[in-house]
Amino acid sequence: METAQLIAILDTEGQLLATAAEEAGTETKVPTCPGWQVRDLVRHTGMVHRWATAFVAERHTSYHPDEGLPDLDGTELMTWFREGHRRLVDTLAGAPADVDCWSFLPAPSPLAFWARRQAHETTVHRYDAESALGGTPSPIAVDFAIDGIDELLFGFHARKKSAVRTEVPRVLRVRAEDTDAVWTVRLSPEPPISERGELADADCELMGPAADLYLSLWNRRPFSGVTGDPALATLWRETSAITWSGPARR
């Protein structure tokens, strides 16, 4: 996806997150993030927004720590979140295409990386905020969901720290039923190797609309459809979480 598209999605998703959080109230539990209340979700996402902004705005070319979580709640917290989100959007939109700064997943450029990563970060957490509010969540476009699955499989889970592994080689298929996107994920004692296409017989297939798969692979909802060995779907749910732990997360 184009960087400008991703920045526009980031803009919309951050506003939706804030609206849902305000309507739900900061003390409300977040069903998709066990142990969190809305205040935890907003503090975390706002911290990540400021952390990402600093790399682009201040041109950090090596890892730079975040500023920690704010001791804010209620209206003050929501104002802080909205201000940080707006600064992130404006920083990305105003940055030169060749801006040089640190990033941690493959991308055409650092700017393309940060726009993509923050668009997906914010979308997943917007879904979390809306889960606390209840009702029907805002839709996720097919092309954006596919891009997010690509980022997760070819980015996060191509790294050495991915825990999605099997002692005996297995093949996991991921199929978006509302488009022609298919991924083959080869599991072994090493990090997963993902490829686009139906390139090997699968031991298990995860299927559903692209948006559902996107949320399921981020462990936000059960898989819509599973065929073959369900143990591989369970393996994904139990080992694929991406958690925030500073440099170790990266």
Q: Looking at residue 249, what is its pLDDT?
A: 39
pLDDT tens profile 4-14: 999 999 999 99
pTM of structure:
0.96
pLDDT for position 250: 34
Q: Specify the 3-state DSSP secondary structure of 155.
A: helix
Q: 157-213 pLDDT, tens per residue?
A: 999 999 999 999 999 999 999 999 999 999 999 999 999 999 999 999 999 999 999
Structural domains of the chain sorted by starting position, each given as residue range(s) with its CATH number in brackets: 3-133 (1.20.120), 151-239 (3.30.1050.10)
Q: What digits encode the pLDDT tens for the residues 230-246? A: 999 999 999 999 988 64
> Looking at residue 243, what is its pLDDT?
85
Question: Where would I find the beta strands (DSSP E) of the chain?
Answer: 170-176, 182-187, 193-196, 204-208, 225-228
- Confidence at residue 86, expressed as pLDDT on a 0 to 100 scale: 98
Rounded to whole angstroms, the Cα distance separating 66 from 238 reads 27
The pLDDT tens digits for 109-146 are 999 999 999 999 999 999 999 999 999 999 999 999 99
Give the model confidence (pLDDT) of 82-98 as tens digits. 999 999 999 999 999 99
